[in-house]
Amino acid sequence: MPLISAPAKRLRFTLGWRGLLGGAALLLAQVATAANALQVGDQSGLIQALLHAAGEDTAVPYSLVWHPFPAGPALLEALNAGAIDAGVVGNAPPVFAQAGGFDVRIIGVAQGAQNNNALLLPEGSSVRQVADLKGRRVAVAKGSSGHYLLLAALRQAGLGPHDVNLVYASPVDAQNAFASGHLDAWAVWYPFVGQATGRGARVLVDGSAWAETGTNFTVASVQALNDPSRAQQLADWLVRLARAQAWATAHPAEWGQALAGITRLPLALVQRMLAEQHLLYVPIDPAIIALQQRLADAFAAERLIPRPVKVQEMFDPRFNASLPSPR
């Protein structure tokens, strides 16, 4: 075996330690970056796409790490477990989260998307009104915004959930069952509404008749809100969301192009949807809380949550003053 000179040994030793130190430094940098990152839950990539389309994902003084979720209830479970810091959900999931004792708060409210949820019928259905669904198979994701729309539509028709053959299913599972003809109706939200109608489904009713169905909530974990540095990030992120939503509402053509790309829906269909929406962030106020209480009371009346809740306890209005004025 060839001999290695003392200087060479020292050089190899030095380089070896430098490599180890360099790797350790890189690892520490990655840990620091992860610690500085805001962990955000997203459904169908819509919030990430919104921020990007509006240019609100540039010059962010912290990292944004995105986590996909199929629906709001799963996102809230991750929040409660501390796996993520924040996200955006529909109106119903926070009620179930509160009834379940989740450590989650509503920090932002966007209104104006009443047609986001719809009760769908398959192509060729003989159903003409909600009352015709009596005894038929209707799918919905339990605890979702579509769930409340279904309850409200049935109640208006003089029916209750016991009058239909209710099938609780995730949007993906229900989508497959609906497409294969195993369901008579499906209560769901966009982009699933658009995907189904693009394949021939018909909207029996949407949320336009109920003011409380047009609300989206920005939510955060109590753990994140109790961390001063994380709360500062949440404040900045919420303002960016509000500005991005205001941009999208003021520029439906540009946002429609981006939304069609992320959802893979036909542009014309997306444009029709956006034409009926005027979604903007508004301050948390007594009117917002009253609408949410009406929704919570409906779930409690049907014994879908284990106990009645006072939804005011779920709201954290600390960021109201930071929001841009809705136009």
Q: Based on the fold, state whether residues 313 and 231 are members of the same structural domain.
A: yes
**CA neighbours closer than 13 Å in the CB half-sphere of residue 281:** 26
Q: Based on the fold, state whether residues 100 and 139 are members of the same structural domain.
A: no
Q: Based on the fold, state whether residues 188 and 220 are members of the same structural domain.
A: no
CA 26 to chain centre: 34
Q: Is residue 307 part of a domain?
A: yes
Q: Based on the fold, state whether residues 134 and 197 are members of the same structural domain.
A: yes
Cβ pair 187, 138 in contact under 8 A: yes
What pLDDT is attached to residue 143? 82
Q: Based on the fold, state whether residues 79 and 219 are members of the same structural domain.
A: yes
Q: Based on the fold, state whether residues 164 and 47 are members of the same structural domain.
A: no
Residue 194: domain span? 116-211
Q: Is residue 4 part of a domain?
A: yes
Domain count, the chain: 3
Q: Based on the fold, state whether residues 130 and 163 are members of the same structural domain.
A: yes
Q: Tell me how far apart the alpha carbons of residues 234 and 64 are, in angstroms, rounded to a whole number.
A: 11
CA distances from 240 to 50, 143, 145, 312 (A): 10, 28, 24, 25
Q: Is residue 309 part of a domain?
A: yes
pLDDT digits (tens), the chain, 327 positions: 333 444 444 434 344 544 544 443 333 333 434 568 999 999 888 899 999 999 999 999 999 999 999 888 899 999 999 999 999 998 889 999 999 999 999 999 999 877 788 999 999 999 999 999 999 999 999 888 889 999 999 999 999 999 999 999 998 899 999 999 999 999 998 778 888 988 899 999 988 887 777 789 999 999 999 999 999 999 999 999 999 999 999 999 999 888 888 878 788 878 877 877 788 999 999 999 999 999 999 999 989 999 999 999 999 999 999 998 765
Residue 302 sits in a domain whose CATH number is 3.40.190.10
